Structure 1
Amino acid sequence: MQITGAKALVTGANRGLGKAFVEALVARGAETVYATARRPELIDTPGVTPLHLDITDAASIEAAAAQVGELDILINNAGISTPAPLLGDNLDNVRREFDTHFWGTLNVTRAFAPRLAGGAILNVISALSWYVYGPASNGYAAAKAAEWSLTNGVRIELAGQKTQVTALALAIADTDMMAAYDIPKLPPADVVALALDGLEAGKLEVIGDNVTAKVKAALAGDPADFYADVQAALFGQTA
């Protein structure tokens, strides 16, 4: 997929990875870059077209798709992170996680898919698509696991119209979502450069950092061993 001269749209483009994506697309010569957000007035990246898009609202998605028309690249980046234990007092945040990461991504993809023949979709998933580390993140992890499966399924369904579907999986980038964690983090621009290199190279999956690479590799092993290591890292004890 060639970015130069392309018409691209990024969800959640007002900050973090989304902002880094639109900046990189402009720098790589995309002809038109739609930078979308629930509050497009917050988008200040030069050379982009701000556009209102709430991926949890069907009318907003329909209006954005009608305004954009044909498209070469769709980057499903918008996301949230809430305290969402699966067995907590209520399921409100779990539903919000799925409404955003699964249903939101799917509905945006459904709206733009007919306009993406010969183009590409990039979905931002997570290392937490493949593991969990604590109750508060369980709703997020479950929704991201569903988004990973969605990505693989859509890839098959769009193969006939030659739409490339790529997943970017990462663990730790220096974004607002990770601001509370005092750990080494990758600059968003580095992650985005890796993702767009992979997109242009036709990769189906881009692994954004070493943590994610280790998590995915561990899927082939015994989960008892993997989760013993997670528990030891988090709580200083083994099962």
Structure 2
Amino acid sequence: MNIAGSVALVTGANRGIGRSFVDELLERGAAKVYAAVRRPDAVPADEFPDPRVEVLRLDLLDDATVTDAAAHATDVTLLVNNAGITTGSNLLGTDDLAGVRRELDTHFWGTLGVIRAFAPVLAANGGGAIVNVNSALSWFSTNGANGYAVAKAAEWAMTNGVRLELAAQGTLVQALHLGAADTDMMARYDGPKIAPRAVAAASLDGVESAAIEVLADDWSRLVKSSLANDPSEFYAEALAPRA
């Protein structure tokens, strides 16, 4: 599909990768962009000066806001599921499971709920496309983010499933993977980071070329390529005995 003339809805649109999607869509000539956020009242009036942007309330953990958004934004042809969280939860030890459940409720159930609400809208408008912002952590785990990795692995599997189910209505479903982006969420991470705008650009290039998977950076490409190998090689350092 062409980005020029499209009508997009981006979740988590007020910062980070979501905000970069809004800016990139506008630059590429989108006719309208719904900037979906949990709290529209917290978005400054001049945050989105372009008249093509409409701020819309959508909370992945509030089904009523998802239903209302789909009933309002009936002209959407491109859905970008970007909204997400990280709780820093592991699966065992002293942590309870509240953080893990919140990760799954957001990335899996919340994203699936948005897709279920907007799939009929996309069908009515000719099929369109969906982008799910996944992660390189869909394919590996690391201490301090195991809850996030489980949730992203579930979201990746869900992305593959809805792609098959929506093929008949002509909806492209893209899985977008990246390692770390230079956003508030990754502010405490001291390592290579990709610019959020580069992530959005790679994804939209993929939408226009009908790519069902986009690996936005070297990190995601490295992790994906390792899946065919013995996992002991990838996890060698993490599993090494401690002195």
Q: Same fold (TM over 0.5)?
A: yes
For 1:120 and 1:58, how far apart are their aligned partners in 2?
22
Matched, 1:198 2:206: yes
Q: Post-superposition shift, 1:141? A: 0.3
Residue number in structure 1 paired with 2:180: 172
Q: Which residue of 1 aligns with 2:21?
A: 21
| Stretch deviating more after TM superposition (46-55 or 155-164) | 46-55
Write the distance in 1 (CA, Å) between the matches of 2:201 and 2:59.
Answer: 25
Cα distance in 2, alignment partners of residues 238 and 147 from structure 1: 33
In structure 1, the partner of 2:79 is 74
CA distance in 2, matches of 1:4, 1:157: 26
The percentage of counterpart residues that share the same residue type is: 57
CA contact (8 A) 1:229 1:238 kept: no
Q: Deviations over 1:4-47 (max 9, x none)?
A: 11110000001000000001111111101000111224261222
TM-score (norm 2): 0.93
Alpha-carbon distance in structure 2 between the residues aligned to 1:78 and 1:192: 14
What is residue 6 of structure 1 aligned with on the other side?
Answer: 6
Counterpart in the other structure of 2:61:
56
Determine whether 1:32 maps to 2:32: yes
Moved more, 189-198 or 137-146: 189-198
Query: TM-score w.r.t. structure 1 length?
Result: 0.94
Moved over 2 A (4+): 229-232
The whole-number CA distance in structure 2 between the counterparts of 1:238 and 1:123 is 38
Name which of 26, 37, 45 aligns with 2:48: 45
Which of 168, 171, 180 is the matching residue for 1:160? 168
Number of aligned residue pairs: give it. 234
Match of 1:84 in 2: 89
CA deviations on 1:35-60 (whole Å, 9 max, x unpaired) are 01112242612221101110111001
What are the superposed Cα offsets for residues 206-230 of structure 1, whole Å, 9 maximum, x if unpaired?
0011011010000000011111045
Deviation of the 1:182 alpha carbon = 1.9
Aligned with 2:118: secondary structure? helix
Query: In 1, Cα distance between the equivalents of 2:101 and 2:212?
Result: 28
Structure 2: runs of 5+ lacking an equivalent: none
1:126-180 deviation digits (Å, cap 9, x = unpaired): 000000111x201000000000000000000000000000011001110011100
| Structure 2 CA distance for aligned equivalents of residues 209 and 164 of structure 1 | 22
- The AA in structure 1 aligned to 2:199 is V
Q: 1:238 to 1:205 in 2, by over 3 A?
A: farther
AA of the residue aligned to 2:99: N
Q: Secondary structure at the match of 1:116?
A: helix
Gaps of 5+ in 1: none
Instruction: Decide which of 132, 136, 139 is 1:127's aligned counterpart.
Output: 136
Residue 184 of structure 1: CA displacement? 2.4
2:107 corresponds in structure 1 to 101
